[in-house]
Amino acid sequence: MTAPTATSIAPPTSVSPTPRQVWTRTRGLVLALLLLIAAGIVLATAHSGAQHGRLDPRSADQHGSRAVAELLKDRGVSIRVATTLEEATTAVGPDTTLLVTAPDLLTPGQQRELRAATADSAGRTVLLAAGPPSVDTLAPGVRTTSTGPVAPRAPQCLLPAAHSAGNADTGGFRYTADGLETLACYPSGGLPTLLVVQEQASGDTALLGSADFLYNSRLDSQGNASLALQLLGSRPHLVWYLPSLADPSATGNSGDTDDSTGSEGADNDRSFADLIPSGWLWGTLQLAVAAVLAAIWRARRLGPLVTERLPVAIRASESTEGRARLYRKANARDRAASSLRSATRTRIAPLLGVSPRNAHSPEVLLPAVSARLSTIEGGLDTVLFGTAPADDAALVRLADQLDTLEREVRTS
Amino acid sequence: MALTGRTALLAALGSLPVGILAPSWTGMLAVNAPLSLAILCDYALAAPVRTLQFTRSGDTTVRLGDGAEVQLTVTNASRRRLRAHLRDAWPPSSWLTGTEQAASRHRLDIPAGERRRLTTRLRPTRRGDRRSERITVRSYGPLGLAARQGSHKVPWTVRVLPPFTSRKHLPSRLARLRELDGRTSVLTRGEGTEFDSLRAYVPGDDTRSIDWRATARQSGVAVRTWRPERDRHILIVLDTGRTSAGRVGDVPRLDAAMDATLLLTALATRAGDRVDLLAYDRRIRAQVQGRAAGEVLSAMVTAMAPLEPELVETDARGLSAAALASAPRRSLIVLLTSLDAAPIEEGLLPVLPQLTQRHTVLVAAVADPHIEQMAEARGTVDAVYEAAAAAQAKAQRQRTAEQLQRHGVVVVDATPDHLAPALADAYLALKGAGRL
């Protein structure tokens, strides 16, 4: 019972793959996966410059806006970056400029809320590239028409900022406003791409057809920097609103989740999950982990299923049974009766001393039977050589009569 | 890698501290990180499965209906104690239904460097070869949380022999055989008989067998006695074609034919005849030729064990050629086939003259007891139609048998239970009549 002697000669019997085999099998897959990840990283770095950090005051990218933010800071304007609607609306005030970088990305509810906050604030609101989805709500009375190319354009208006800035890279959406007190600048094809709408309470809303002049890459050309500084630096505080998906007001019915509606709305919104203690939830989560482990435990089979080559199972009597059912279906009483009669005749002939050859001839068989039996119900010749039964009952009766006949021949 | 119920239980118990003390991700981590660590440690500490060594020994043949024992020696060559579950997998028909789980699984506890012997008890339910499948070992770690699992292939074959249930008829047939020996010459003189001895004449003896020369030497009249000739040749031909696949009762016709073959072989060997076997459908499936009397029965059993009916039409021409090739001298050819009209009329009848020219031919067929039952069915319309169909089938069979008999073939048609004794009786009758 100690170390066996023949171990070194014994051929390996294991059929499980060795680690080397596992590595050989999976290395291609692993390599492909690594290549995929590497390609993904390379592609991401190569293409990230285009839109990453667009109009972000912290981004030094081509399309970032750190340059203008630095310039504004140098001029004593405090910049506060807001990513949620709540941050943006609480910060607005008479001495504040609110820059909305992507008004089209706001949901209708958010737009309404923003408009409600800015309308009476007496501050300035700058909307960059506000298109049809947002312009109706954020600047009532203003309509937008088709877009034009971004190109250096002359101000051609009385707005001091535009006037002193001179030519600037503008374009994009073009605006019209009827019946409002507006200043229209930088026209493209006759329609302005910069529209300043005077609001009540000394506030104003500036709509810009495109945001290109705020990009780091464009700020130094034309009068872009000047225009940006004057539009955004007119008040000591600047709220730089970058709409984001993390904003809770972007999801759900954001129009109602205002501060003022919190008390009554929250009670209705709290789901069942909010009401049960967190311990139960975490305990259940741990139980789910246990369930997964139990599933793994039960799912692992102790070796694969063993198959067996099964022999065919054909009943030898199948064709006879099939013939019986065919007779039944076709109501082949004549066939059935003749084969029953023939079988009985074959069986009784040797008992009566009739040769098998003559068993089916009435001239020989009938006298031999009548010599042994006096008579039988239905008549001997009818039972042994009669016509086909008229109905099923007659067939059943015939079978019984044949049985009786045979029994009597045997016992006589 | 395999987990145990203990792991799942620990994880479930972990929901109490998580739920009560620390309902947070921290709590989840505090419970599951040590658990995962324990699982990994346990896996690492479990005895390796790959380095286990196996050797088999034990039975290689078993009669159907008996049990076989196959031993498996497991050597744990590693430095860790092996605590494991082992499954010695065999095809499902190696065990009675329902006992497979208990019979194939074993618990193992082998200290490092030692070995243990396990016994797997098989109880095959079908004839043929049973080949062992893989051995799967699940080796548990010391904590019983995780296990390594792996398989080994250690080939072993147990041949399941035909059961020879008709053995019970052998004593009575042997007694009849002894009666044949040394019987008087009255009726049994024929080609296949040889001179045995002289004895006094008793009234009733055939006067042709009076030995006048011996009578002249003695005071009384002496007659010669004869005994059946010994050392005749019998070739049993099993038809393994499609007609042998039909189930009669719960076994194929082929199995009933094999049973009859075994009884005939046992009987003929005792009677001093040589018995050969040929199994044929479109090619030779099994053959036993020229074995000594002592070993022919076991050789036949072994040769027939793996035979299965093939779903092809038997090639009667090839069968007759093969039979003629294996029966060079005058023999009794026992053909175990079916009496279905089509295969006999189209296949066997045209080639039968070749066989009957030199040999005595006996055709034995398995009748179906179910058809007998159907023939007796009465009372309802369905039953009567069944009886009619069965009568027709029997008449057909009878006609086929008569056709064969017209060629001088002896026909034995019996249900599986009665085929073996009926065939033995037919053999004894032929032997008694000296027709071998």
Whether B285 has a pLDDT exceeding 50, the answer reads yes
Q: What span, in angstroms and rounded, lies between the C-alpha atoms of B229 and B434?
A: 7
CA B94 and chain centroid, separation: 14
How many pairs of residues across A and B have Cβ atoms under 8 Å apart?
A: 220
Contact A240, A72 (CB under 8 A): no
Q: Which residue's entry shows tokens 């089209």?
A: A104
User: What stretches of B168-211 show up as alpha helix (H) in DSSP?
Assistant: 170-180
Q: By the 8 A CB rule, do B376 and B388 touch?
A: no
- Residue A236 and residue A347 share a domain: no
Least confident of A379-388, B188-197, B326-335, B366-375: B188-197
- What residue of A is the nearest CA neighbor of B85? A302
Per-residue confidence (pLDDT) for residue B45, from 0 to 100:
94
Kindly give the pairing relationship between strand B233-239 and strand B274-280: parallel
Q: Residue A332 corresponds to which amino acid?
A: A
Q: Do B3 and A287 touch (CB under 8 A)?
A: no
The Cα of B7 is separated from the nearest Cα of chain A by a number of Å equal to 7
Query: What top-level class would CATH report for the domain B230-432?
Result: alpha beta
Domain count, chain A: 2
What's the start-to-end Cα distance of chain A, in Å?
82
Going by C-alpha positions, the residue among A195, A219, A222 that lies closest to residue A207 is A195
Contact criterion met (CB < 8 Å) for A302 and B49? no
ipTM score here? 0.75
Give the pLDDT of residue B138: 95
Residues 6+ apart with CB under 8 A from B9: A290
The identity of residue A6, as a single letter, is A
What residues of B are in contact with residue A321 (Cβ under 8 Å)?
Answer: 374, 386, 389
Pairing of strands A96-100, A237-241: parallel
Residue B19, pLDDT above cutoff 80: yes
Q: Does B311 touch chain A (CB under 8 A)?
A: yes
CB A150 within 8 A of CB A174: no
Minimum distance, in Å, between the CA of residue B342 and any CA atom of chain A: 13
Domain for residue A81, yes or no?
Answer: yes
Q: For residues A235 and A362, state if they share a domain.
A: no
pLDDT at A6: 42
The answer as to whether A318 is a domain residue is: no
Chain A residues close to B100, C-beta within 8 Å? none
Q: Is residue B263 pLDDT above 90, yes or no?
A: yes
Domain ranges of chain B: 1-161, 230-432
A303 closest CB neighbour out of B52, B134, B253: B134
Residue (of B358, B356, B278, B345) closest to B318 by Cα position: B278
Contact criterion met (CB below 8 Å) for A121 and A155? no
- Record the tokens describing residue A173, joined without a space: 């959406």
Cβ contact B113–A2 (<8 Å): yes
Residue B227: its pLDDT value, please?
67
Amino acid A268: pLDDT: 58
Give pLDDT, residue B389.
93
Q: How far apart are CA A284 and CA A276, in angstroms?
A: 12
Q: Given an 8 Å threshold on Cβ–Cβ distance, is B371 in contact with A320?
A: yes
Q: DSSP string of A361-395?
A: -HHHHHHHHHHH-S--TT-HHHHHH----SSHHHH
CB nearest A328 (choices: B7, B381, B393): B381
Residue at A332 is within a domain? yes
Characterise A222 by phi-psi region: left (phi > 0), alpha (psi -120 to 50), beta (else): left
Contact assignment for A396 to B380 by CB distance below 8 Å: yes
Q: Tell me, what's the pLDDT at B171?
A: 92
The CA dihedral of B261, B267, B271, B274, to the nearest 10 degrees, is: 20
Closest-CA residue of B relative to A323 is B389
Size of chain A in residues:
412
In a domain, A289, yes or no: no
Q: Would you place residue B286 in the very low, low, confident or very high pLDDT band (cuts 50, 70, 90)? A: very high
Q: Which residues contact B70 (CB under 8 A, 6 or more apart)?
A: B56, B57, B58, B59, B88, B119, B120, B122, B132, B156, B158
Of A306, A308, A317, the CB nearest to B370: A317
- Looking at the partner chain, which of A16, A280, A294 has a beta carbon nearest the beta carbon of B151? A16
Residue-level pLDDT at A50 = 54
Task: Check CB contact under 8 Å for B3 and A2.
Answer: no
Chain B nearest C-alpha distance from A2 (Å): 5
CA distance B309 to chain A (A): 8
List alpha helices for B289-345, DSSP H.
296-304, 316-326, 341-342
Domain extent at residue A129: 66-247
Name the band, by pLDDT with cuts 50, 70 and 90, for residue B206.
confident
Which regions in chain A score pLDDT beneath 70? 1-10, 48-52, 201, 251-270
Question: In this complex, do A284 and B15 lie within 8 Å of one another by their Cβ atoms?
Answer: yes
Which of the listed residues A226, A247, A268 is the one where a domain comes to its end? A247
> How far is it, in rounded angstroms, from Cα A231 to Cα A96?
12
Q: Given this model, what pLDDT does residue B183 score?
A: 53
Q: Chain A neighbours among B 251-270 (CB < 8 Å)? A: 252-253
Read off the DSSP letter of residue A376. Answer: -
- Residue B200 above 60 pLDDT? yes
Nearest of B249, B202, B255, B291 to residue B420 by alpha carbon? B255
Give the pLDDT score at B228: 66
Q: Do B87 and A311 touch (CB under 8 A)?
A: no
Tell me the residues of chain B between 218 and 237 that have a Cβ less than 8 Å away from chain A: none
Q: State the pLDDT confidence band at B97, using cuts at 50, 70 and 90.
A: confident
Q: Say which CATH class B1-161 falls into.
A: mainly beta
Substitution target from B373, B385, B392 for chain A, most A beta carbons within 10 A: B385
Give the pLDDT confidence score for residue B62 in this predicted structure: 93
In a domain, A150, yes or no: yes
Residue A9, SS3? Answer: coil
Contact A314 B246 (CB under 8 A): yes
Q: Do A294 and B5 touch (CB under 8 A)?
A: yes
The two tokens of residue B351 are 């080639």
Q: Is B23 within 8 Å of A392 when comparing Cβ atoms?
A: no
**Beta-carbon-side half-sphere exposure of residue A185 (alpha carbons within 13 Å):** 28
- Could you tell me if A73 and A210 lie in one domain? yes
Whether the per-residue pLDDT at B82 is higher than 90: the answer is: yes
Please tell me the distance from the alpha carbon of residue B150 to that of residue B82, in angstroms, as a whole number: 13
Mutation choice for B interface testing from A5, A306, A329, A392 by most B CBs within 10 A:
A306
Nearest to B336 by CA among B359, B367, B306, B373: B367
Which residues of chain A does B378 touch, with a Cβ-Cβ cutoff of 8 Å?
A: 396, 399-400, 403
Q: Which residue has the tokens 């390609």?
A: A39
Residues A88 and A216 in one domain: yes
- B87 in contact with chain A, both atoms CB, cutoff 8 A: yes
Determine, for residues B3 and A296 on separate chains, whether the beta-carbon distance falls below 8 Å: yes
Cβ–Cβ below 8 Å for A317 and B371: yes
Find where tokens 């499954």 sit.
B87
Which 8-state DSSP code applies to residue A83?
-
**Interface touch B309/A278, C-beta < 8 Å:** no
Residue A300 CA to its chain's centroid (Å): 30
- Give yes or no for B196 touching A (CB within 8 A): no
pLDDT score at A260 = 42
CB B146 within 8 A of CB B43: yes
Among A356, A322, A324, smallest CA distance to A340 is for A324
For residue A290, list chain B residues with Cβ-Cβ distance below 8 A: 8-9, 11-12, 14-15
Strands (E), A159-252: 168-177, 182-188, 191-198, 204-208, 237-241
Chain B residues touching residue A307 (CB < 8 angstroms)? 91
**Closest chain A residue to B395 measured between Cα atoms?**
A343
**How far is it, in rounded angstroms, from Cα B227 to Cα B361?**
22
Asked if residues B269 and B234 have their Cβ atoms less than 8 Å apart, the reply is no
Last residue of a domain, one of A247, A262, A289: A247
Interface test with A, best of B7, B9, B15 (most A CBs within 10 A): B15
Q: Do B3 and A346 touch (CB under 8 A)?
A: no
Helix (H) or strand (E) holding B62: strand B61-63
Look at residues A221, A247, A273 and tell me which one is the last residue of a structural domain.
A247
Q: How far is B367 from chain A (nearest CA, A)?
A: 9
Q: What are the angstrom distances between the C-alpha of A122 and each of A196, A201, A239?
A: 14, 5, 14
The confidence score (pLDDT) of residue A273 equals 72
pLDDT of B270 above 80: yes
Mean pLDDT to the nearest integer, B118-137: 92
Domain of A146: which CATH number?
3.40.50
Global pTM value: 0.67
pLDDT of residue B187: 45
**Is B132 an interface residue toward A (CB < 8 Å)?**
no
User: How near does any CA of chain A get to the CA of B359, in Å?
Assistant: 28
Asked whether residue A15 is domain-assigned, the answer is no
Residues A200 and A349 in one domain: no
